[in-house]
Structure 1
Amino acid sequence: MTPLDLSIRSYGQDRGPDSHSFDQLVLPLSGALELDIDGKGERLASGRAAFVVAGTPHSTMSDTANRSVILDLHLAHLAPQMAERLARAPFVNLTPAATKLIDYMGLMIGESRATPATVALWTPLLIDALGQTPASAASRLARLAAEIEADPALPWTAAMMAERAAVSVSRLHALFQTELGASPRAWLSEVRLRQARGWLSTSPVSIAEVAHRCGYADQSALTRAMRRATGMTPAAYRRQERETRTKAQ
């Protein structure tokens, strides 16, 4: 199964409704965005995706740094049951498997390593993962995740997350392990790091400001987190991203 197009995009101010002759999956990597599909609006973040049927008017906007994998394809490429499900319910919760696949492809595209062969293998795996329905509690975590993605700089604690999700702290830990495969603290760290990498890749703001916007105590805390995750400092990561974009142009 080969898609029509696969890319990473970021969204800003609403430029009005759009429509196209192909179907489209919007798969958030970092940050949050508002998507209205034919009058049905929702805030998307990692763990929540959207499907836009060909010809359907839709608009997208965001007031925060964001990055999404955009997959253009045709419903005819999908199994009938999957096509019907996505057309009926444009906003879907993602299983941990689907989220990991999206993160992987985001990395491949960012490093210019998303070859046609890689994409051809990845796409059916993603579609299969989308067909696996998450537990019903995921919708509660999806709303919480959207809040955190929209403002990672808040002093999020397990107690604060549990209060927002209207569950006990112990229940929150259980839900995170079941639905996201991580503890609330580990997941929050991943969100902040993804946000930081997004800002470093797409924004000229200072590294200290990136650290502040993503919830790190200071620039040194961000540097330690980046070194653990990537083996690079924020400055080195930003230089690499700029060089990669320059070569791709």
Structure 2
Amino acid sequence: MRLSVSGGQGADNKNKRARSALMELNSIVSLKSYAEGVSLHVHDFHQLVIPTHGTMEIEVDGTQGHLTNARGILIPAASHHRFNASSGSQYVVADIPIDFRLADGRQVGALRLLDERFFSVPLSFCHLIAFLRGAVQEQRAVDTGAWLRLALSAISGQAASVTDAKYTPLAKATTFMRANLDQPITCKHVAVAAGVSERKLNYLFNQSLRMTPHAYLLELRIERAIGLLSGSRLPISDIARACGFSDQSALTHALKRARDITPARLRRASA
């Protein structure tokens, strides 16, 4: 990644800050591109790989899969893996030390993700990618340890904070949404479940998640659909209804708009 600079002493200081930001960014987390063709790797650290655009065919210890911006992988240390990246693709790659600890003090090895390996990419991770890109473009230093803890928390579905947040209105709202994804719930239903007004509910979502309750609900439905498309053989029409979409066409439109992939293509890639 190249950072543009201009001349003069001010530019020298700016260049130093840019190099510092880039060095810190690359210490654990980086944005990478790979040449086309099959490559074989093995590392003494865990590795997180998620495409920001493009795709990757990958095999880890005999298990094959396909990565898209909707599907990533956490590769265990010492695992032999071969991959083939698509032309012009880019990936978020995190080289995670064996002794790296999560926000709750556990080591990465305690995550069930290391056994499951493949996972659906949550919306919150999209925000983290945007932050990472912004840090490079604006030449800001990044606390990659903190970034990685947030990323692993988002991917694994764990709470990013050790505080007891399960009784907050926002947590009540998101819990209600997850429990009723197959139902035609509205913002009013969610507000009642959270114990707040609709106006307050919108404020909480915008302040904490930078999105509306409706947008968050749609993303939850898309995430569930991705999981079912990747991990089951249910008919796509049944998956659409199970995730709260009116029909298969509605699911296709939503998934194409959010992840630039159709249900049929995602299912083929996950086979």
TM-score by length of 1: 0.49
Greater relative CO (CA pairs within 8 A, separation 6+): 1
